[in-house]
Amino acid sequence: MTYTFATVINQEGSWFVARAVDLGVVSQGKTVSEAMENLKEAATLYLENNPRSKKLSSKNAPFVTTLELNYA
């Protein structure tokens, strides 16, 4: 089965921290690509160890967007 999860990546110091918002799973890497790969592995392990989470539906995925604000 294929799942789609909202993911947020922030740079914290020299690391990129990736969060699967829907799952509450977090991982990191020295690059965005590495952080994403590590997050995929962590999310897979999470789903394998939490049988209830297999009932997740991407239909209820959060809506993620950006906010542009002119602030003086």
Residue 71 lies in a domain: no
What per-residue confidence (pLDDT) applies to 5?
A: 84
Residue 1 lies in a domain: no
Number of domains the chain is built from: 1
Residue 34 lies in a domain: yes
Residue 61 lies in a domain: no
Residue 62 lies in a domain: no
Express each pLDDT in 26-68 by its tens digit.
999 999 999 999 999 999 999 889 877 656 655 666 677 778 8
Q: Please state, in angstroms and rounded to a whole number, the distance separating the CA atoms of residues 43 and 48.
A: 9
pTM exceeding the 0.85 threshold for the entire prediction: no
Segment (H or E) for 49? helix 32-49
> Is the sign of the CA dihedral 8, 44, 36, 13 positive or negative?
positive
Express each pLDDT in 2-21 by its tens digit.
778 889 999 999 999 999 98
Residue 39 lies in a domain: yes
Parent domain of 22: 7-51
Residue 69 lies in a domain: no
